[in-house]
Amino acid sequence: MKLFVYGGAILLIIPFQVVVIHQFAIGSIVPDSILLTICLVGLWRGKLEAVVLGIGLGFLQDLLSGSMLWVNLITKPLIGLAAGVWGRTVLSLTSWIIPIFVMGISFISNLLVLVFFKIHSPEMDIIRAFFGTFLPQVLYDGVFGAIVLLAVFLLFPTLYRNVRNL
């Protein structure tokens, strides 16, 4: 049953990120709904399921992206792990901490990507990449993530109670 649910989630979220999310683009920056999904699963179901889902989603994200490196295959399970550990044991997830939480997760993910790309192509302009992609992405992920997570928690209060161990 769980396999079908996660399979269905993957089949929904990947086309959403590849086709629909560009409607929400600010400049050329789009929020990472895959990262958000993994965060939510990490908070709700724990680190193990988030890591497994991160592997699946990261693989497909790399398959469809214009990168020859499999960076998302590495970063996405890692952020699943971080969300699972950090979100459930360290933080008390109140409404004002959600954007900071998502920004933190996005920061880790994008920092890893930046490091990978810099190692792979040393001529990369790190300042331009930081201000052109990294920073806008982290901020947009935080805002978008907060809106989506708050909406999910409002729609499903039991989920929120579950996440906060209430």
Partner 1 sequence: MFHSRSRTKKAWNVFLILFLVGLAFSPFFAAKSLNVIAVPLAEIIKVPLTVTSSLERKLEEGGGVIRDLIDLYNQNQLLADELARMQIEQNRLKEIAAVAERYRLLFDFKQQCPYSTVVAQVIGRDPTNWHRSVVIAKGERDGVIAGMGVITPLGVVGRVLKVNRTFSVIQLILDRDNITTAVVQRTRDEGIVQGSENGQVIMKYLPPLSVVEPGDVVVTSGLDGRFPKGMVIGIVNQVEKKIATPFKSATLTLHEDFSKLEEVIVLLSTNVLGERGGECFMQHKDEREA
Phi, psi of 46 (to 5 degrees): 100, 170
**Of 130, 134, 143, the residue nearest 100 (C-alpha):** 143
Can residue 106 be called a binding residue for partner 1 (CB under 8 A)? Answer: no
Angle of CA points 21, 92, 143, to nearest 5°: 25
Q: Does 46 bind partner 1 (CB under 8 A)?
A: no
Nearest-CA neighbor of 87 among 127, 40, 130? 40
Q: Does 119 interact with partner 1 (rule: CB under 8 A)? A: no
- Cα(122)–Cα(52) distance, integer angstroms: 31
CA atoms within 13 A on the CB side of 62: 15
Token pair belonging to 43: 């908070």
Determine if 29 is a binding residue for partner 1 (CB under 8 A).
yes
* Range in contact with partner 1 (rule: CB under 8 A) among 30-38, 42-50, 91-99, 146-154: 30-38
Q: Any contact of residue 36 with partner 1 (CB under 8 A)?
A: no
161 scored as a contact of partner 1 (CB under 8 A): no
Q: Which of 63, 100, 115, 151 binds partner 1 (CB under 8 A)?
A: 63
**In this chain, which of 28, 92, 94, 158 binds partner 1, going by CB under 8 A?**
28
* Pairwise CA distance, residues 99 & 131, whole Å: 20
Answer yes or no whether residue 14 interacts with partner 1 by CB under 8 A: yes
CB of 76 to partner 1, least distance (A): 11
Residues interacting with partner 1, by CB under 8 A? Answer: 14-15, 17-19, 21-22, 25, 28-30, 32, 34, 61, 63-68, 72, 113, 117, 121, 124-125, 128-129, 132-133, 136-137
